[in-house]
Amino acid sequence: MKISKNPKAQGTIEYLVIIAVVVVISLVVVSLMTTIFSSPANQITSTAGKISSATGSITIVDSATDSTGKTIVRVKNNSGENISLTKVTLNGVENDFSENISLNDAKTLSLNSLVNCTNENKTYVVKIYYTTQNGLTKEVNLGEMKIDCTEQITTPPNVIPTTSCFSTGTGALSTPKIICDCNALQNINQNLDWNYELGTDINCSLTKTWNSGKGFDPINTFTGSLDGKTHTIYSLFSNHNYLDPIRWSSLFTEVGSSGSISNLNLSDLNWIGEESAGIAYVNSGTITNCSVAGTLLVEDEAGGLVSRNDGGTIRNSTSNVTILQPITASEANIGGFVSYNRGDIYNSVAMGKAIIYYSGVQGGFAGVNDRGGHIYNSYSAVDINILPTGSNIMMGGFVGQNFETIDNSFTSGNIFLAENYYSIIGGFAGYNVISSSAGTITNSYSTGSIYCSNLCTDGMVGGFIGENRGALVNTFSATELILPAAFPRKSGFAATLTDAWSITNSYYDINKTGLATCCSIACAGCTGKNTANSEPNYFFDGNNPPMGPKPTSWDFTTIWNDNNSTLQYPTLK
């Protein structure tokens, strides 16, 4: 499409767009499936006759007429399997859909959006068509339903819905309380051991005006369950700094040992606090299939999904956040996914970036994987920027400090240091410490880059690890090192080895690091590859050590993908 740059033509286009929007609104073709608006005047006010059960696998939970005259039908999937809504017909006129309804889930249909009726009441024969998992097409005949189009709808189209619940539940496990808006979300604080579900996506942008600008208050120690049903909470805002009795900003202060959060998405999050985390400041329970996206402005400690995973379990979750430390801060212990981990994390991802001013421990995925912490099958793509006042930093592309176990994980993030007085930095880990139980990194690798300006005067930088006092097994680094020529302790794989260090079957890319030495001192178990770019594809092939030869070493059956055919590093399945 050619776009005119003529101001008059542009103005004409904008005028026509405005006219088109007005026409669309006046015709009431603005209420897409599952859209019910949030203002109190538009709540459902009268029941138009409940329908008990239809034939087939869809149950009609309810039908009602709201105050704008819209006829709404709530359908529930009782088929025993996931189904896909394909079309709805009104008097034989088809309206195509592609809408999945999970087992025991429900969807809300606004029938007015499927017809073009203005200032009239009409009766239609309504039929719903859907397909089963094995591809069978089925039909539910709802019979005759009256659609009232006598009211005008003035709410703009495409508003994120904030309420779509016919019943709210009791909080019991069998009948969870349904969360339909931001007030109900905040009110979880009143019953912290209840069971909850999200009934719809929720727009919480108005939380910026709550509590004299402090916004959303973190929900206290939670011991119930919250199932997001894959819905999204948008634009939550919270501002609790060190002057506030509540010093952290997070959805939950703590998820207790019996608490669980699942299938929940947070988008466009805006947290400000001395300490911040997307979902929970402390997790001692279970978090599964959750995601967080947004911005965390933090004085001290931050984790993209959780700040402190203290004996809890996190699975199949993702953080994609920007973490910002103000110049007034003094220290930052930061992880793109978790700040401190003393629990189990599986199959999870950290993305985004961190901009840091002062000293501390930072990692693209975890700041500290502490004693009792285990991280499996996870990766980080977080870029970390240390601005001019940074010093005494312990940092890694995946983890800042590791005291326990990391297995089958990788990082592709970049590290940038504008100035550095004394820091321990590695492409994968800053500091790996042998403890009473572990201090082990296995079947893992780093790519990305470490850049240190000419103002970097002292420290330890290694392609894979800054300082190793533990065990590295079946690992490799293809991290690009861009360091001043006079930078002191630097090596292609490990900058410094101390105490009971151990390296087994580990490799690094000589061309990427620009360094011919594997370690700062003589070390066994480490081998350089790709001198003068002679083997640029070496680490793409899962048959090569340390990944292979197959089937030994790395698990390319259930955990890793061998991407040699596409000339890429291995990725997790």
DSSP letters, 76-103, are: EE-SSS-EEEEEEEETTEEEEEEEEE-T
Q: How does the average pLDDT of the chain come out, rounded?
A: 81
| pLDDT tier at 117, thresholds 50, 70, 90 | low
For the ranges 39-48, 148-157, 271-280, the maximum mean pLDDT occurs at 271-280
DSSP letters, 301-341, are: EEESSEEEE-S-EEES-EEEEEEE--TT----EEESSEEEE
Distance, CA of 347 to CA of 378 (rounded, Å): 5
pLDDT, tens digit, 9 for 90 and up, residues 514-532: 999 999 888 999 999 999 9
Distance, CA of 120 to CA of 545 (rounded, Å): 74
- Inside any domain, residue 372: no
pLDDT in the model for residue 494: 95
SS (H, E, C) 360-405: EEEECCEEEECCCCEEECCEEEEEEEECCCCCCEEEECCEEEECCE
Count of the separate structural domains present in the chain: 2
CATH number assigned to the domain comprising residue 63: 2.60.40
Residue 567: Cβ-neighbour burial (10 angstroms; 0-12, 13-18, 19+): exposed
pLDDT, tens digit, 9 for 90 and up, residues 329-365: 667 789 999 999 999 999 999 999 998 877 789 999 9
Who has greater pLDDT, 348 or 117?
348
| pLDDT tier at 145, thresholds 50, 70, 90 | confident
Three-state DSSP state, 181: coil
Distance, CA of 46 to CA of 486 (rounded, Å): 78
pLDDT, tens digit, 9 for 90 and up, residues 195-247: 999 998 999 999 999 998 999 999 999 999 999 999 999 999 999 876 777 77
Does position 305 have pLDDT exceeding 60, yes or no?
A: yes
| pLDDT tier at 167, thresholds 50, 70, 90 | low
> Is 0.75 surpassed by the pTM of this model?
no
193, two tokens: 């051991």
pLDDT in the model for residue 552: 92
Letter for the amino acid at 343? G
Last residue of a domain, one of 120, 148, 176: 148
Last residue of a domain, one of 110, 128, 148: 148
Going by C-alpha positions, the residue among 389, 397, 451 that lies closest to residue 421 is 389
- Inside any domain, residue 315: no
Last residue of a domain, one of 148, 177, 195: 148
pLDDT, tens digit, 9 for 90 and up, residues 174-195: 889 999 899 999 999 999 999 9
- Inside any domain, residue 292: no
- Inside any domain, residue 215: no
CA 119 to chain centre: 45
286, two tokens: 């279970």
- Inside any domain, residue 323: no
- Inside any domain, residue 458: yes
Does position 554 have pLDDT exceeding 70, yes or no?
A: yes
Who has greater pLDDT, 19 or 291?
291
15, two tokens: 């005028």
Please answer whether residues 45 and 30 qualify as being in contact, where contact means their C-beta atoms are separated by less than 8 angstroms: no
The arithmetic mean of pLDDT across residues 281-291, rounded, is: 97
Domain that includes residue 40, residue range: 26-148
- Inside any domain, residue 385: no
Distance, CA of 499 to CA of 149 (rounded, Å): 79
- Inside any domain, residue 475: yes
pLDDT in the model for residue 120: 66
Who has greater pLDDT, 489 or 101?
489
